Structure formats: C-alpha cells, structure tokens
Amino acid sequence: MKMIYAIVQNEDGDIVTDELTKQNFFVTRLATTGGFLRKGNTTLLVGTDEDKVDAVIDIVRRYCAKRKQISYNMSYTPTSAPLAGSMMMPVMVDAGGATIFVLDVSEMKKI
Ligand code: 2BA
C-alpha cells in the first residue's frame, strides 16, 4: 500500500477531491500553509494500492497542473467619481501546480 501526499492550491482542492472521490479513492483533506509564502494551500492524503498510484497522479495532474488563467483586476482611471471610472481589466496570471510525495505504508488498519 502507498500513501500519496498531494499539496495543491486551495482553488483546485474542491474539484480534485470530488474527482478522486468519484473514482472511488479515499481522500483526507488538510488545510495547510506553505512555509515559504506563508499562504494557505491544501494537502490531500490518499491511501491506495500501489497499482493505483498512477491513476491518482493522473487525476491530480488533470485538475491541478500549472496553467495560465485570466483574472480580472480592478483598474482606476482618474476621475472625480472613483467608482464611475473603474473597470475590470483582464490579466494573465499563473495558477495551479502540485507537489506530490508517494510513501510506502507498512500497515493500515481500520478499527
Ligand atoms: P512549489 O515548489 O510549487 O511548492 C508549493 C507548495 O508545496 C509549497 O509552498 C509547500 O507548501 C509545498 N512543498 C513544495 N515542496 C515541498 C517539499 N520538498 N517539502 C514539503 N512541502 C513542499 P511554499 O513553501 O509556500 O512555496 C511556494 C513556492 O515558493 C514554491 O512552489 C517554490 O516555487 C518557492 N519556494 C519554496 N521554497 C523555496 C526556497 N527555499 N527557495 C526558493 N524558492 C522557494
């Protein structure tokens, strides 16, 4: 048996958990914090048989891979009425990414 730790971005946590659950994997979600950026992320724990590890990694890759995404930022134009002069500007931002560890499990019990 193996234990997979997948550290993913919070915004990808729901969809990847749903998909893993749909594919009959057991998942535990932890709210974690990256030590470098001190920003919240999500750590998924998936205990599974060795022959299913690649299937788990494929699902994480499909839903959490690094990608470019459009985000809408508020931009202000000089005017006496600030809200009237504001508009949403589309900008490309980096999103996603996952760090995965696969560990051997010597024993697992449900009691
Ligand atoms: P990533 O390498 O994609 O890592 C994203 C998050 O995954 C990390 O958040 C951390 O929570 C976890 N993680 C990655 N590698 C790990 C490992 N070997 N052991 C345990 N957890 C691990 P942060 O620590 O906030 O890091 C955010 C991003 O900052 C990293 O993205 C990396 O691009 C950069 N970074 C992290 N540590 C760095 C360092 N010591 N020097 C330079 N850049 C660093």
> pLDDT tens, 47-101?
999 999 999 999 999 999 888 888 887 776 666 555 555 678 888 888 889 999 9
Higher pLDDT, 3 or 76: 3
Q: How many whole angstroms from its chain centre is CA 34? A: 13
Nearest-atom number in ligand 1 for the CA of 98 is 3
Q: Is the CB of 71 under 6 A from ligand 1?
A: no
Angle at 51 between CA 62 and CA 56, to 5 degrees: 20
Q: Is the CB of 42 under 6 A from ligand 1?
A: no
Q: Which of 65, 25, 64, 61 is nearest to 45 (CA)?
A: 25
Residue 65 has a pLDDT of: 86
Q: Is the CB of 99 under 6 A from ligand 1?
A: yes
Q: Which of 18, 30, 102 is nearest to 62 (CA)?
A: 18
Please give the torsion angle defined by the CA atoms of residues 30, 36, 40 and 41, in that order, rounded to the nearest 10 degrees: -50
CA distance 60 to 70: 21
Q: Is the CB of 41 under 6 A from ligand 1?
A: yes
Nearest-atom number in ligand 1 for the CA of 33 is 11
Q: What is the pTM (predicted TM-score) of this model?
A: 0.85
